[in-house]
Amino acid sequence: MTTLLFHKPYGVLSQFTPEPGSPWDCLASWVAVGGVYAAGRLDADSEGLLLLTDNGALQQRLTDPRWGHWRRYQVQVEGLSSADSLEALRQGLVIQGRRTLPARARAMDPPEELPERNPPIRHRLNVPTSWLELELREGRNRQVRRMTAAVGLPTLRLRRVAIDLMDEEPLLDLAGLSPGAWRQVNAQEQGRLERLLRPGLRRPSDRMGPPAR
């Protein structure tokens, strides 16, 4: 099984073929490994951790919403969060006619050693910006952006920084990967991924307690 962790830059599609007429780049310009595909996706205007694998069963397991693997995002938003807006994100919001699952949400300081983005974020001089950490266990279309907009905090920059496979173990994360860089999973990570495919394994969501504050 070949499995890679890739730090997807802004402006890159989560696929190996370009979209006709699209201004966005694709994975083939960055990852010279054949036979692997994205397990899940990040929009072209989002950045961060993307897992690439040649194992169809693993790809299905990581994208099946019934398994509910937590994904951690750092989100720069326009405006300042409040206790009410954070609680609304945690409890779930009606987006496109469906309520989102309960999430984990907190205000955070700007990330340390934040990579530059090209193009840079546009700021309005009279509107402050702030950062949120959001953890979701579903991946609906542009969900983070729709959720923050619903509480009056439009997303300016979105980074996925970690994927949780099993609650009691460390995360897959961006540690050591600069934008555009990738690496093969190490032996410990490979073992955790293989354990996900064992028959009889309970879904992570079966073990989860209430969303963290």
User: Catalytic site residues?
Assistant: 43
- Distance of alpha carbon 136 from its chain centroid, rounded? 8
Angle at CA of residue 163, ends 29 and 190, nearest 5°: 80
DSSP 11-22: TB-SSSSPPTT-
- Distance of alpha carbon 188 from its chain centroid, rounded? 21
Provide the token pair at 178: 């600069």
3-state secondary structure of 209: coil
